[in-house]
Structure 1
Amino acid sequence: MHGNSPKTLRQDLLKQRKEFATGNHYTAAEMGLITGLNHFLAHEGKSIRSIALYWPIQNEIDLRPTLSSWVKKGAYRRLALPYARPDKHLDFFEWQEGDALVPSAHGVPEPDPNNASRPPINPDCILIPCVGWSSSVVNGKSHYWRLGYGGGYFDRTLADLRKKNPKLVCVGIGFDWQKLDDAQWEAQTHDEPLDLLLTESGLFS
């Protein structure tokens, strides 16, 4: 059972993810998730030119090798990493393997916003890691929600980016066991929904 507060819930889930990453089922789950990502890229990737990924921390799945391979297989494809602004919004800057990064205030490697050779990007697709996730059905359609680290960066950023680009695709990245029920956590009015959710079981829309 989880505690009543979102903070306690996050702590419990992060502890579980650390234990899961050293367990017997992690490798199979990782392979299943990467297979699902490759399937998504093979189909949706034809219309996507830029993908914002994340630098993996705290036992998150590492998508960098798969996405770097995707970039090399098509012209004009680009990857981007988030940069956390002081106002708790994210900007995205182009990233290539081998780039020098700088640590954020939270210790997460980020692109240098002053690097003129790596311009800002408004991505077509954003891959967002989940600490936990939930689903709901409204008017017969499934909606997926992300429990993150509590800073609200992605929610603020997605709200802005979706106004500029209604076709933006936001994909949550998580594991099956991270699914939460309403007794554990419910999305709030300020939470931005995910367009898709990818776990080791496949892609959910």
Structure 2
Amino acid sequence: MTHEHPPIPDGQGDAHEAALRKRLRERALTHRQAMPAERRAQLTLRIARHLDELVARLQPDTLGFCWPYRAEPDLRDWVQGWLAARPGRVASLPVVLERHAPMTFRAWTPGVPMPLDRHGIPHPADGVEVQPELVLVPLNAFDDHGYRIGYGGGYFDRTLAVMRTVAVGVGFEAGRVPDTFPQPHDRPMQWLVTEAGAFEARPRNQLADRNMR
């Protein structure tokens, strides 16, 4: 499912793109939150199968993921299965320590204390800091080049800028769009995983793309 966008008027690129990004975010969130829970669960099972294939290929021993938020795919059962499949694996969750700084990842296992952060999202109260080899990043709207539209806080962009990891965007296929109008600081995913499969992101020449508009 994709959506076409109107051309950007000359001289209004930045403001117009910001408005388009906001619209794409709201559309993706509205669609996802309106999806029946049973349908989301079915699609999440398909996503899990594709994640199985991708992690079997990439073979990480340390993994970062996100607690489900605003009807995102719930990967907790999948992560627990991944942990149980081989001793020594470590899963972790992101923790926001400072508002405009990169996030920290802390080790997670079922049952650890999980207070709510400022956004109401559970996170490990303490624990070992982890540098995950692979991070599962939630997608709202996203494009084939691996660029995503998150919630506007820039947390993952700041984190991925300083972390050596494989970024795997995970979301529902309905969020795929022709263009997310990435900003210069946006960090693309290397892989995208939806109910339709696991896809390696296609490189994008941002400067050339912008000059063609």
| TM-score, normalized by the shorter chain, greater than 0.5 | yes
Match of 1:93 among 101, 106, 128: 106
Q: Matched residues in 1 for 2:43 and 2:109: separation?
A: 26
| Partner residue, 1:179 | 176
Counterpart contact for 2:73–2:172, Cα < 8 Å: no
1:9 match: secondary structure: helix
- Choose 23-32 or 143-152, whichever is displaced more: 23-32
Deviations 1:34-65 (A, max 9, x none): 110111223323xx110001000111111111
**Shift of residue 8, structure 1, vs aligned partner:** 3.4
TM-score by length of 2: 0.80
Q: Matched residues in 2 for 1:93 and 1:67: separation?
A: 15
**Shift of residue 25, structure 1, vs aligned partner:** 4.5
Match of 1:134 among 136, 140, 143: 143
Q: Matched residues in 1 for 2:191 and 2:114: separation?
A: 29
**Shift of residue 154, structure 1, vs aligned partner:** 0.2
- What is the total number of aligned residue pairs between the two structures? 184
RMSD: 1.9
| Partner residue, 1:198 | 193
1:15 match: secondary structure: helix
Match of 1:32 among 24, 46, 64: 46
**Shift of residue 13, structure 1, vs aligned partner:** 1.5
Matched ranges for 1:44-193 at <5 A: 44-45=58-59, 48-86=60-98, 87-112=100-125, 115=126, 118-135=127-144, 143-161=145-163, 165=164, 168-182=165-179, 185-193=180-188
**Shift of residue 153, structure 1, vs aligned partner:** 0.3
Higher helix share: 2
Counterpart contact for 2:62–2:90, Cα < 8 Å: yes
2:130 match: secondary structure: coil
Counterpart contact for 2:92–2:106, Cα < 8 Å: yes
Q: Matched residues in 1 for 2:113 and 2:41: separation?
A: 29
For structure 1, the residue ranges without an aligned partner over 5 or more in a row are: 136-142
1:76 match: secondary structure: coil
**Shift of residue 186, structure 1, vs aligned partner:** 1.0
Amino acid at match of 2:150: G
Higher strand share: 1
Q: Matched residues in 1 for 2:105 and 2:168: separation?
A: 16
TM-score by length of 1: 0.83
**4+ runs deviating over 3 angstroms:** 1-5, 23-28
For structure 2, the residue ranges without an aligned partner over 5 or more in a row are: 6-15, 201-213
Q: Matched residues in 2 for 1:62 and 1:14: separation?
A: 15
Counterpart contact for 1:88–1:151, Cα < 8 Å: no
Q: State, as a whole percentage, how many aligned pairs show the same letter.
A: 31
